[in-house]
Amino acid sequence: MSELKHLLDQNKAWAAQVIAEDPNFFNRLEDIQSPKYLWIGCSDSRVPANQITGMQPGEVFVHRNIANVVVHTDLNCLSTIQFAVDLLKVEHIIVCGHYGCGGVLTTLAGNRIGLADNWLRHVGDVMDKHQIALECLPEANRGSVLCELNVIEQVFNVCQSTVLSDAWSRGQSIQVHAWIYALNDGKLRALNNGIADMDHINIAYKKAIKECFERANA
């Protein structure tokens, strides 16, 4: 416990500061959770959803895993999406990756790290899908491009899920966004304009892929 005491002390200081600035903050937070956003991001400790978007506790519902992967067999992620869409009624789903992602770069390099290799096989599938185009790029650019491609592919997976299909079929207003974060300047960049219905999934996907390689070749 003594090794973690500083974290408990920091929590007390943070809570006191919040109350000093807004005495009713925690009372409001306790009463209801009504975020407009679901964030699906990487587990990387340098990419915390609330801080980099400037949002407060209660404003964003968060799911994170290594390399921000969305898999149709991952009941953890799908349950989070379903809860956010059906119960919380979020209006936006943001899949956010980041440049320099360890999971992506490990996959690109073909390195083995252990059990997580099985999870990163999904990133490997993205790499294999775009292998020819990636090999045409300078080697120094491939990591950043694969980070972008991985986000775009995971957005496609979100849109193809039964949760989103059902939500859009019943007329629920919800958009799915592809974002990427740059560790070197702290800025987020949009990789698509948001997908708001089933009819535009393929169009938005192809456009995002095309623009990804155009940026890389510019």
* Catalytic (active-site) positions: 42, 44, 46, 98, 101
CB 179 within 8 A of CB 95: yes
Rounded Cα distance between 153 and 151, Å, is 5
Distance CA 89, CA 82 (A): 10
* C-alpha span between 106 and 133 (Å, rounded): 19
d(CA 21, CA 158): 38
Q: Are strands 188-190 and 92-98 parallel, antiparallel or unpaired?
A: unpaired
CB count in 10 Å sphere of residue 99: 18
Task: Determine the Cα–Cα distance for residues 58 and 36; give it in Å rounded to an integer.
Answer: 9
The full 3-state SS of 125-187, as one line of letters, equals HHHHHCHHHHHCCCHHHHHHHHHHHHHHHHHHHHHHCHHHHHHHHCCCCCEEEEEEECCCCCC
**Which DSSP category does 48 fall into?**
-
